[in-house]
Amino acid sequence: MKEKVKKNFDPRIDLITDLVIRYSMGDFTAKLYPAGEYDEVDAFMTIMNMVGEEMQASTISRNYFNNIFHSVSDMIFVMDLCGEIQNVNKAVINQLGFTETAIRQKFPDQVMAGGKKAFNNLLSILEGDTLRADQECYFYTMDGRPVPVFCSSSYLINRQQEKIGYLLLARDLTKIHKYERSLQESEEKYKRIFDESSDTIFVITPEGYFQDLNKAGGLLIKLGNQHAAPYKIFDLFVDETRREQFRNELSIHGLVVDFRIRLKDLEGNIHACLISATKINNDTGDVSAYQGMIKDISQQKTMENLVIRTIVDTQEKERKRFAMDLHDSLGQQLSAIKFYLATLRSIYGFSDPKSADILVKSNDALDRVLAELRNICFNLMPGTLQSFGLKHALQELCKKIEHDSLLKFDLHMDNAIPLLTKSLDIAIFRITQEFINNAVVHGHAKKVSILMSLINDRNEGEQLRIVLADDGDGFCIKNLEEGKGMGLKNVRSRVESYNGEIRISSEPGRGTRYDIVIPNPRS
């Protein structure tokens, strides 16, 4: 209990108290060393040093010492060897409510819990070589109210080193106990929040090992009855890139808020989560641990993906309708005009060179308009994609672009790839279309590689792997993190709407690569 009390007080107060005891025993050579806090306590320590110097240099009046004696906030009792009170400071009168005469008459029987027996037990500790005795007990005020106190007793010694009495100091612990109760209540409140939270709350070491984990965390990670300590939170991250980004952010800034991750529990299930964490520093300022929270947003993410897919599907349906309208209405009318011009030329011949030239140029212009219309319809919704599937649509796309530019393609699609849903076919086609457009317009690439294969992973199950790569100019990945590039954001949204993962790799002058994995492509 002694150690516990000391920790709740400024240690400089104990130094001042010890100095007063030494001064009371006639030792004026003792000094205090201010802690450099430049506060009231440091100022008082400086004053006490000055007092000691004055006492040592000259005879000091009893009144001058009494000013110091009565300024101490702890209760001080000066007693003779029989335990009779010789003097008390003002703190005794103020805190207990007795007059000085009453305290002399009633101490210890009516002031100290346990009376004379408890007092004698305290003094008995001083027998032998013990210089100081400490004990926690209760004092009673004049109106009978118990006051918890911490008592320290020591001998009074004269210049001849003879024992002439006792000095008893008593410190009121009421505020300390109130603080301890408040602290205990806060701890209990935190424990209830910790235990009852529906989100995962964790404490980890700087290396990532779990130190503490609430019930929700155990359910999320599927720990069962196992202890959390052997597991590292970083090992639960599915995406290596996101794991390193999270660790770097936490190491550099000491705080990460709502960081999106995919977390794999110990049974292999994957959860979409938001993780937040902050550092905990020790007394020296070093990081001793990290505390944080994980929110499972799998259901929310499923709903978001469903909304995104619904929006995209609606957009694609509108593209298809618009392409069909262009083809069936405007396309047919342009074809009719071309037929009329051909008929006009066949019937009338137009021997006039100028009229014949105008007719030829009109026919050529219509050919270009029809070709452009077919391009627009193809970009809006390739008929091949609707009729023959993804592979034929990509082959048609590559041949068309090769014909119109110097770009070369290397297209490989695994024959084991199953028949995909129309919406996934369209999503992959749009992602590839966006990549090729970026390679041509921004990357000035000469070659684009497209690889699609089916993977059967023991833990992850069936996955569709897509690799898109070019040899173009590349770009700075940091621009992605700063929110630049709507096309890339749309690509990421399309992939994530199918619970997929995309890793984008690029460096200036070293091309660009998309690694995409889509789980359960048949569904």
**What is the per-residue pLDDT across 391-411, written as a single tens digit (0 to 9) for each?**
888 888 888 888 777 789 999
Q: Among candidates 141, 90, 84, which has minimal Cα distance to 116?
A: 84
pLDDT for 409 equals 92
Segment 429-451 mean pLDDT: 89
What is the overall mean pLDDT for the chain?
Answer: 81
pLDDT for 196 equals 80
Quote the CA–CA distance of 314 and 310 in Å, as a whole number.
6
pLDDT for 462 equals 83
**Is 377's pLDDT higher than 70?**
no
In the 3-class helix/strand/coil scheme, how is 259-273 assigned residue by residue?
EEEEEECCCCCEEEE
Quote the CA–CA distance of 441 and 420 in Å, as a whole number.
30
When pLDDT is cut at 50, 70 and 90, the band that residue 5 belongs to is very low
Q: What CATH class has 2-171? A: alpha beta
pLDDT for 475 equals 84
CATH code of domain 197-296: 3.30.450.20
When pLDDT is cut at 50, 70 and 90, the band that residue 331 belongs to is low
Quote the CA–CA distance of 289 and 254 in Å, as a whole number.
10
pLDDT for 6 equals 46
pLDDT for 305 equals 67
What pairs with residue 466 in β-bridges?
452, 516
* pLDDT digit string, tens, across residues 160-198: 888 888 999 999 888 887 877 777 777 777 778 778 888
Quote the CA–CA distance of 231 and 233 in Å, as a whole number.
7
Q: Is 250 helix (H, G, I), strand (E, B) or coil?
A: helix
For 116, the token pair is 């004379």
CA atoms in the 13 A half-sphere facing the CB of 204: 24
Place of tokens 């929700």: 216
Q: What is the pTM of this model?
A: 0.44
Could you tell me the sign of the dihedral formed by the alpha carbons of 329, 332, 338, 340, in that order? negative
Q: Which of 30-44, 254-268, 371-385, 442-456 has the lowest mean pLDDT?
A: 371-385
What pairs with residue 279 in β-bridges?
290
Segment 11-16 mean pLDDT: 80
Could you tell me the sign of the dihedral formed by the alpha carbons of 192, 195, 197, 203, in that order? positive
**Is 142's pLDDT higher than 90?**
yes
Q: Is 1 helix (H, G, I), strand (E, B) or coil?
A: coil
pLDDT for 4 equals 45
pLDDT for 309 equals 67
Percent helix / strand / coil, the chain, rounded to 5: 50, 25, 25
Segment 307-331 mean pLDDT: 65
pLDDT for 141 equals 93
**N residues, the chain:** 523
Indicate the angle between helix axes 422-441 and 486-496, nearest 10 degrees: 160
When pLDDT is cut at 50, 70 and 90, the band that residue 148 belongs to is very high
pLDDT for 97 equals 93
**464 near 491, Cβ under 8 Å?**
no
Helices (H), 160-239: 174-196, 215-221
Q: Which of 252-266, 343-357, 438-452 has the lowest mean pLDDT?
A: 343-357
Could you tell me the sign of the dihedral formed by the alpha carbons of 69, 72, 73, 77, in that order? negative
pLDDT for 42 equals 81
pLDDT for 1 equals 41
When pLDDT is cut at 50, 70 and 90, the band that residue 482 belongs to is low
Q: Is 410 helix (H, G, I), strand (E, B) or coil?
A: strand
User: Homologous superfamily of 386-523 in CATH?
Assistant: Histidine kinase-like ATPase, C-terminal domain (3.30.565.10)
